């Protein structure tokens, strides 16, 4: 299993009570909030929270399992939903290539771990070293590679904190395109992709900081 780390300077913003969310100009309808206080998307998978079964179901659809950890009152979780998840190109990529399961950092739902042990969401987060939200984990579509490993050893990649749309999209693209098989360092892979975009006349510096996905 290839472990990927983000040793890269990106526009990543961590949990802060002072931040304000900005909804997309194209879609300002309120984001649905569940009884657990988490923001919801209709394409999130209604999982039984058996992780091996989730990987198998995702693989059957030629997708990768993704777990997104959120918590009530998280401003940057809200921002993902109000900004990143309002961008059609991002949503289309995720829906076509990923099987997304939302988990609550402080939740009490029971989850069957890869090793078969049943834990509450908050216990699993503790065991996997998930300390804050949002945190997004990508997993292989091959159960043999995952085995009975814990999340921090089983994951292909972990995305800590909030990423603006450009990096958010490129991270999902990196996994969807199996970019890690040719280049295990995300930063070097991203530099190559950036060069391709510049050749098309795209202003990368502008794209990095935009709340829109300006790479078309």
- The verdict on residue 142 lying in a domain is yes
Give one DSSP letter per residue of 158-196, joined into a string: EEESEE-HHHHHHHHHHHHTTHHHH-S-HHHHHHHHHHH
- The verdict on residue 194 lying in a domain is no
- The verdict on residue 68 lying in a domain is yes
Q: Is the pTM of this model over 0.75?
A: yes
Total domain count for the chain?
A: 1
- The verdict on residue 48 lying in a domain is yes
Range of the domain at 134: 27-163
Condensed to tens digits (0 to 9), the pLDDT of residues 74-118 reads 999 999 999 999 999 999 999 999 999 999 999 999 999 999 999
Burial class, 72, CB count within 10 angstroms (exposed 0-12 / middle 13-18 / buried 19+): middle
* Residues sharing a CB contact under 8 Å with residue 192, sequence separation 6 or more, in sequence order: 183
- The verdict on residue 197 lying in a domain is no
Condensed to tens digits (0 to 9), the pLDDT of residues 137-184 reads 999 999 999 999 998 899 999 999 999 999 999 999 999 999 999 999
* CATH code of residue 81: 3.40.30.10
- The verdict on residue 188 lying in a domain is no
| Better pLDDT: 135 or 5 | 135
Tokens at 60, concatenated = 């059957």
- The verdict on residue 199 lying in a domain is no
C-beta separation of 13 from 19 below 8 A: yes
Tokens at 213, concatenated = 């996905």
Tokens at 69, concatenated = 């950890």
- The verdict on residue 191 lying in a domain is no
Give one DSSP letter per residue of 68-113, joined into a string: EEE-TT-HHHHHHHHTGGG-HHHHHHHHHHEEEEEEETT---EEE-
* Residues sharing a CB contact under 8 Å with residue 76, sequence separation 6 or more, in sequence order: 13, 14, 15, 16, 19, 133, 134, 161, 162
- Closest by CA to 210, choosing from 74, 22, 41, 78, is 22
């Amino acid at each position: 299993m290839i472990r990927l780390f983000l040793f890269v300077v990106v526009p990543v913003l961590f949990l802060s009570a002072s931040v304000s969310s900005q909804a997309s100009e194209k879609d300002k309808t309120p984001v649905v909030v569940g009884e657990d206080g988490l923001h919801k998307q209709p394409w999130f998978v209604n999982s039984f929270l058996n992780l091996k079964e989730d990987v198998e179901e995702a693989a059957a659809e030629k997708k990768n399992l993704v777990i997104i950890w959120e918590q009530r009152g998280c401003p940057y979780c809200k921002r993902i939903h109000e900004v990143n998840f309002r961008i059609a190109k991002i949503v289309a990529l995720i829906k076509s290539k990923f099987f997304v399961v939302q988990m609550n950092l402080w939740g009490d739902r029971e989850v069957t771990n890869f090793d078969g042990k049943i834990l509450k969401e908050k216990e699993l987060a503790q065991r996997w070293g998930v300390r804050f939200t949002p945190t997004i984990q990508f997993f292989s579509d091959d159960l043999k590679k995952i085995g009975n490993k814990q999340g921090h050893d089983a994951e292909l990649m972990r995305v800590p904190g909030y990423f603006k749309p450009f990096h958010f999209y490129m991270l999902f693209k990196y996994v969807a395109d199996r970019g890690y098989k040719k280049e295990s360092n995300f930063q070097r892979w991203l530099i190559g992709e950036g060069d391709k975009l510049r050749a098309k006349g795209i202003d990368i510096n502008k794209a990095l900081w935009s709340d829109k996905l300006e790479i078309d």
